[in-house]
């Protein structure tokens, strides 16, 4: 068979369902091999859209998503999705084309050293120089992409290698079992927890895996451990629980830090230093126990005193067995903090002002979405509001990126969620700036027949940076722009556009979009004056309960 046929056979052996792509002429042999395969090719309008969709597939399924681009500018457009997958720990395999490497008559036209470019972003980056190497490279690439800690892999297939004849057999995948933490570490962790007066549980992104989530829920049910989470740990544990003390949307001086500062021990499950710090460790401060698949990456704000390394589900289950029947702390120690946080979240949820304030927007979205429905956030100031105020009940029902924190990923991420879960409501929440970075993918969503609502928060500015600019006392400068008419813009792609003109109109408009099906863009003017009032002035004046 041709080498490109062998590559497709290897991908099929890995269980690949989709390839998200912007193909080029260097991919044509591979494209022809895909045409007669079981893999569905999804053509996107930009390589970023393809990469973000593939990375989100990996995030939601645990299996590596696959995207395809050509050489040169096609490949370089995948650098941001590669970084997104690397920092977010999403399994992703990228396949790029290249000019012939044996004989080429095009000199250096479009030639970029793609493998060297991607090496710092990937767990593995290889050029395929011989068709016989394809089965082993594909198997190794998927193993690395999916193995903890997950991330990105690049395979470059030159044009002349793709058309080579080969007879090498495919290497079949095999199950991967992770080691469990040793008894000594688990015994010491249990002893420290039981000796603490006010231990607290932190849930991070690494716990947002199916097996880990199930084990962690049983652990909390059995021990009644008070908990808080990072932004990417939202939904692992049900935030409607009386044991929930909030989400660390900021690194310090928020309401949840009243609980964190009171704790004398924090059990950190699944967080690492890639995600923005939920709190700062200090010398001679509280003890931190690190429970994760990998050892802690020591940083000046994170240096745990005890590490429990191995499969998270197994570690949590075995630790729970040691604590069963012995509650690690009295939940009453944090009761007042829990009440204060809940009251703070309710403030502004019925505010009738228009343009709408963020608290009301989050409350209305929560009212429209069911327990299992999915909100995919782009990146902007609204991400902080959703992290603090949106109550998540199930894992991966609020998709946000607090690692690379890139703009432009919200719409493709929501599209992938809608493809994988057509029975659920899926809402993309994007700022006007982030939406326009990959808004061309609306055409892809319409072409795929997705049911998807996109809520565009319209302030005609880069709102997050504007908030930081104000916080630092700088004049308002350089961060405003003009937007298209989003209703007309939606219509031009074959989608449906809506313009919100009162605060009372948001909930019925969102419901209408979900009930009628198809792709809907909702243009919502937003009032960000609350950013300073709530996230700067109120927090500076906050006093923790005694």
For residues 7 and 156, membership in a common domain is answered with yes
Over the Cα atoms of the chain, what is R_g? 24
Which residues does the chain have with pLDDT short of 70? Answer: 106-107, 328-329
Q: Is residue 448 part of a domain?
A: yes
Positive/negative CA dihedral, 228, 231, 237, 242: positive
Contact 395, 377 (CB under 8 A): no
Whether residue 302 sits in one domain with residue 372: no
Examine the fold and report which residue of 290, 309, 336 is the final residue of a domain before the chain moves on: 336
Distance of CA 278 to the CA centre of its chain: 16
Residue 176 lies inside a defined structural domain of this protein: no
Indicate if 217 and 267 belong to the same structural domain: yes
Q: Is 149 left (phi over 0), alpha (psi -120 to 50) or beta?
A: beta
Measured CA distances, 366 to 49, 398, 406, 510, 511 (Å): 27, 11, 24, 11, 12
| Cβ–Cβ < 8 Å for 228, 241 | no
Cβ atoms 267, 201 nearer than 8 A = yes
Residue 520's DSSP bridge partners are 453, 496
Cα–Cα distance measured from residue 301 to residue 278, given in angstroms and rounded to the nearest whole number: 10
Q: Which of 314, 336, 358 is the last residue of a domain?
A: 336
Looking at the fold, whether 320 and 425 belong to one and the same domain comes out as: no
Q: CA-to-CA distance for 126 and 139, rounded, in angstroms?
A: 13
544 within some domain: no
The answer on 143 and 86 residing in a single domain is yes
Give me the numbers of helices (H) and strands (E) for the chain, helices first please: 23, 18
In whole angstroms, give the CA distance from residue 421 to residue 419. Answer: 6
Supply the DSSP string of 490-523, one letter for each residue: HHHTT-EEEE--SGGGHHHHHHHHHHH-SEEEEE
Using an 8 Å Cβ cutoff, are 215 and 312 in contact?
Answer: yes
What pLDDT sits at residue 474?
Answer: 95
- Taking the CA atoms of 16, 18, 22 and 26 in sequence, report the sign of the dihedral they define: positive
Same domain, 155 and 272: no
- Domain assignment present for 383: yes
Question: Does residue 263 sit in the same domain as residue 408?
Answer: no
The verdict on 311 and 370 lying in the same domain is: no
**What is the tally of structural domains in the chain?**
3
291 and 204 in a common domain: yes
Which residue is it, tokens 């809940």? 342
Residue where one domain finishes, among candidates 336, 370, 390: 336
| Burial annotation 426-450 (CB, 10 A radius, 16+ → b, else e) | bbbbbbbbbbbbbbebbbbbbbbeb
pLDDT digits (tens, 9 = 90+) for 397-436: 999 999 999 999 999 999 999 999 999 999 999 999 999 9
Q: Which residues pair with 524 in a beta bridge?
A: 457
What pLDDT, on a 0 to 100 scale, did the predictor assign at position 109?
75
| Structural domain includes residue 541 | no
Whether 403 and 521 map to the same domain: the answer is yes
Residue 262 counted as domain residue: yes
CATH number of the domain where residue 242 is located: 3.40.50.1220
Same domain, 226 and 101: no
In a domain, 270, yes or no: yes
Alpha-carbon distance of 388 to 535, in angstroms, equals: 11
Task: Report pLDDT for 328.
Answer: 67
Angstrom distances, CA of residue 63 to CA of 11, 170, 210:
12, 18, 12
Strand order in the sheet with 18-22: 40-43, 18-22, 65-69, 92-98, 152-158, 124-127
Domain CATH number, residue 140: 3.40.50.970
Q: What pLDDT does 470 receive?
A: 86
Residue 273: partners with Cβ closer than 8 Å, 6 or more residues away: 296, 297, 299, 301, 302
Asked if residue 216 and residue 145 are part of one domain, the reply reads no
167 in any annotated domain: no
pLDDT digits (tens, 9 = 90+) for 367-396: 999 999 999 999 999 999 999 999 999 999
> Are β-strands 452-458 and 496-499 bridged in parallel, bridged antiparallel, or unpaired?
unpaired
- Please give the residue range of the domain that contains residue 73: 1-161
| Residue 141: closest CA among 162, 157, 164 | 157
Give me the pLDDT at residue 227, please.
95
């Amino acid at each position: 068979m041709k080498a490109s046929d062998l590559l497709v056979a290897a991908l099929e052996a890995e269980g690949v369902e989709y390839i998200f792509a912007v193909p080029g002429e260097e991919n044509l042999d591979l494209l022809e091999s895909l045409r007669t395969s079981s893999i569905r090719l999804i053509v996107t309008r930009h390589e970023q859209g393809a990469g973000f969709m593939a990375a989100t597939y990996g995030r939601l399924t645990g299996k590596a998503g696959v995207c395809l681009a050509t050489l040169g500018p096609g490949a370089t457009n995948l650098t941001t999705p590669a970084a997104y997958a690397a920092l977010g720990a999403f399994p992703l395999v990228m396949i790029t084309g290249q000019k012939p490497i044996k004989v080429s008559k095009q000199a250096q036209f479009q030639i970029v050293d793609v493998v060297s470019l991607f090496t710092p972003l990937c767990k593995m980056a290889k050029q395929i120089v011989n068709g016989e190497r394809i089965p082993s490279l594909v198997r190794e690439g998927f193993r690395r992409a999916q193995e903890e800690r997950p991330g990105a892999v690049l395979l470059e297939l030159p044009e002349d290698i793709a058309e080579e004849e080969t007879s090498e057999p495919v290497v079949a995948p095999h199950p991967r079992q992770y080691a469990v933490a040793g008894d000594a570490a688990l015994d010491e962790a249990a002893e420290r927890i039981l000796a603490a007066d006010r231990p607290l549980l932190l849930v991070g992104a690494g716990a947002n895996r199916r097996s880990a989530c199930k084990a962690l829920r049983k652990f909390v049910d059995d021990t009644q451990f008070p908990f808080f989470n990072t932004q990417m740990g939202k939904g692992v544990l049900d935030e409607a629980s009386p044991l929930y003390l909030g989400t660390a949307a900021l690194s310090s001086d928020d309401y949840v830090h009243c609980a964190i500062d009171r704790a004398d021990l924090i059990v950190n499950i699944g967080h690492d230093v890639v995600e923005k710090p939920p709190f700062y460790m200090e010398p001679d401060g509280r003890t931190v126990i690190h429970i994760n698949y990998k050892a802690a990456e020591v940083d000046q704000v994170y240096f745990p005193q005890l590490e429990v390394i191995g499969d998270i589900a197994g570690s949590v289950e075995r630790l729970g067995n040691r604590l069963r029947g012995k509650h690690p702390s009295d939940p009453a120690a944090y009761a007042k903090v829990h009440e204060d946080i809940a009251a703070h979240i309710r403030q502004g949820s019925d505010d009738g002002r228009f343009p709408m304030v963020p608290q009301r927007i989050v409350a209305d979205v929560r009212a429209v979405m069911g327990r299992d429905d999915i909100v995919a956030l782009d990146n902007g100031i609204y991400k902080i509001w959703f992290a603090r105020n949106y109550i998540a009940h199930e894992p991966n029902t609020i998709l946000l990126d607090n690692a690379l924190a890139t703009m432009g990923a919200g719409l493709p991420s929501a599209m992938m969620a809608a493809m994988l879960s057509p029975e659920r409501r899926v809402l993309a929440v994007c700022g006007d700036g982030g939406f326009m970075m990959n808004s061309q993918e609306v055409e892809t969503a319409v072409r795929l027949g997705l049911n998807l609502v996109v809520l565009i928060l319209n302030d005609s500015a880069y709102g997050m940076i504007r908030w930081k600019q104000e916080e630092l006392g700088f004049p308002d400068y350089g961060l405003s722009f003009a937007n298209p008419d989003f209703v007309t813009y939606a219509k031009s792609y074959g989608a449906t556009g809506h313009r919100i003109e009162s605060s009372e109109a948001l909930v019925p408009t969102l419901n209408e979009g979900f009930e009628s099906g198809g792709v809907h863009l909702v243009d919502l003017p937003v009032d960000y004056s609350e950013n300073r009032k709530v996230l700067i002035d109120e927090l500076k004046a906050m006093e923790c309960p005694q």
